[in-house]
Amino acid sequence: MASMLSLLLVIILLPLLIFYYKRRQKRNEEFWKYIMRIPGPKAYPVIGCAYKVYTTETLWDKERERAKEFFPIYKIWSLDFAAVYNMCPEDIEPVLSNTKHNTKGFVYDFLHAWLGTGLLTSEGTKWHKRRKILTPAFHFNILQEFTDMLNRETQILVENFKKLCHQPYVNVITPITEFTLYSIGETSLGVPLREDPNCTEYKKAVYDYGESFIYRLVRPWLYIPFVYKLSAAYKKNIKTVKTLSDFSTNVIKEKKKIFEKDASYSQRKRLALLDLMLKAQQEGAGIDDEGIREELDTFIFEGHDTTSVSICYTLMVLANNKDTQKEIYQEIISTIGDTQLPSYSDLLELKFMERCIKESLRLYPSVPQIVRVIGEEIKTHSGYTLPKGSNIIIPIYDLHRNPVVWENPEKFDPDRFLPDNIAKRHPFAYIPFSAGSRNCIGQKFAMMEIKAVLCGILRHFKLEPYDKPEYLKHKSDLVLRPAGEIRVNFVPRK
């Protein structure tokens, strides 16, 4: 038995060490000299900082501890890999504002099995071409057309909450996730996903993929493709990817039927996201079926999961800030009225609500961190050198709670986003949608959707607290994910 275990250990470690030495030899000594000068947690030879395997919850807690201990910069490393966490706005600006650093970090490679090389993960010419194709899908005329659809989905959601509000609390994650997924279907895809029986499987698969992503991230030996493909995690992930891909493939198939049936459909002046891609394909713009699936998968995921997270946290925050909630309600009534559904221009007028949403996104950014590869050497304000080729992790969650920038950072205060206060801050101190040329293409859509749903909910319910922000636990994932539920008490307005 002991000899079998020893053999198994050799089989695992031998390719690991070979991989490590071959890869590390490719990196020059100058690179590691600069990296090793940056402070960081305790490390050991070869394995570096990866001497402990974290769960999704303990990894989240550990990253928050490190951010406070080593602020504003620290490094982690293992085998041939190194990454630098940077929470200084002055150092973040040259990374996100310079196209030389547009390449996404290595962790995005773990998304290729699902998202391929779509807008989120691609680079260079391909990224530029796709961005150009998709940008018109977020023109304000398109967003105006979407308002009625969002209002309809909001009304359905409100009716759902009316059925649930007699309970001591409502776990808002499930109904809000359904709302954002169905809203994406009705608006950007033009396909009624509520009628799709595979929606439930799809939502579960999104969560499963996030779990798989973190599982691999904290196990450096699984970075090696050969080792990863032998693991049970790989086999499980293959099934998850099939569920995700089958779902998007069926959506494309249904939309193509509409295109083939109605020749005039593609001639409309303004087309939604999926329509634009299908038309681009017809006109020979260099996007095939696989390319359409990549972008569709990317947008379904980013368009529903990130917005869902933001709405859930915003509801929880408003339940815990009654005066703020009351002021938003009064703004809704004075701007729109008791019963009239909001128009696109009405939503733009909700300035106080927008400040509250921005403050919620400060405290709970939907994407807690992003990663870039440095395209040329950078000198940091803290006196260190970031060598070309290094992975820079920008922990948005910790940046937004930086006590140097944000006074009393744990406090919910919408006045932080009054024009005068914004002008005093560094422009890269607040980046919930990233920044620079690779910022979130759908951020205006997301803001409009959040406003529309808050209008519907707050006109029908007072939100009472159940979960307190200070007791809420999180876990590491592709998006900001609570470790458990997000619970709010819905009290019908008289």
Q: Which residues fall in the annotated binding site for heme? A: 440
Residue 463 pairs with which residues in a beta bridge? Answer: 490
Burial class (CB in 10 A: 0-12, 13-18, 19+), 17: exposed
Residue 186 per-residue DSSP state: I
Q: What angle do CA 302, 306, 312 make, to 5 degrees?
A: 155
Helices (H), 71-197: 89-96, 112-115, 124-134, 140-164, 173-184
Structure-block tokens of residue 126? 């391909």
CA distances from 279 to 117, 187, 193, 260 (A): 20, 17, 21, 11
Say how far apart CA 73 and CA 331 lie, in whole Å.
41
Say how far apart CA 118 and CA 294 lie, in whole Å.
5
CA neighbours within 13 Å on the CB side: how many for 60? 17
Say how far apart CA 494 and CA 482 lie, in whole Å.
32
Say how far apart CA 420 and CA 424 lie, in whole Å.
7
Which residues are known binding-site members?
A: 440
Say how far apart CA 342 and CA 162 lie, in whole Å.
20
Phi-psi region of 128 (alpha: psi -120 to 50; beta: other; left: phi over 0): alpha
Residue 100 per-residue DSSP state: G
Kindly give, in sequence order, each residue whose CB lies less than 8 Å from that of residue 332, ignoring residues fewer than 6 positions away.
Answer: 350, 353, 454, 455, 458, 459
Beta strands in 307-414 (DSSP E): 370-373, 378-379, 385-386, 391-394
Residue 83 pairs with which residues in a beta bridge? Answer: 76, 391
